[in-house]
Amino acid sequence: MTEGVPPRTFISDLRPGRVATFEATVAKLEEPREVPQRTGGTTRVRRGTLRDGTGEITLVLWGREVDLVVEGDPVRIVEGWVKEYKGRPEVSLGRTGRLEKR
């Protein structure tokens, strides 16, 4: 392994309750939809699927994030928040994560 380079993380390695950095391809995107906010008003949310050679995980994008990618885009999720929703893991950018197109 090269010094200073962290080990590569794959979708199959992701566990709920952790922050993760990994690379994947946007395999599928649903249409954005409006959802009510706790503070009033609405915001847009969009669900999709990220895929790498080891598996798939649901991606959830909020607000301005919904327009960042299209199907087929190779992306890097940096410090994405992995949680469990309805028994399945999903990743969002949370407060500190970011999405980079590769």
At 101 the pLDDT is 92
Q: Is the dihedral of CA 44, 49, 52, 54 positive or negative?
A: positive
Residue 10 to residue 18: CA distance in whole angstroms: 14
Residue 43 to residue 41: CA distance in whole angstroms: 7
- Joined together, the tokens standing for residue 19 give 């922050």
Question: pTM, whole model, 2 decimals?
Answer: 0.89
Strand partners, 88: 85
**CATH superfamily, region 11-101:** Nucleic acid-binding proteins (2.40.50.140)
Residue 80 to residue 8: CA distance in whole angstroms: 15
Residue of 2 and 81 predicted with greater confidence: 81
What digits encode the pLDDT tens for the residues 2-41? 566 667 899 999 999 999 999 999 999 999 999 999 999 9
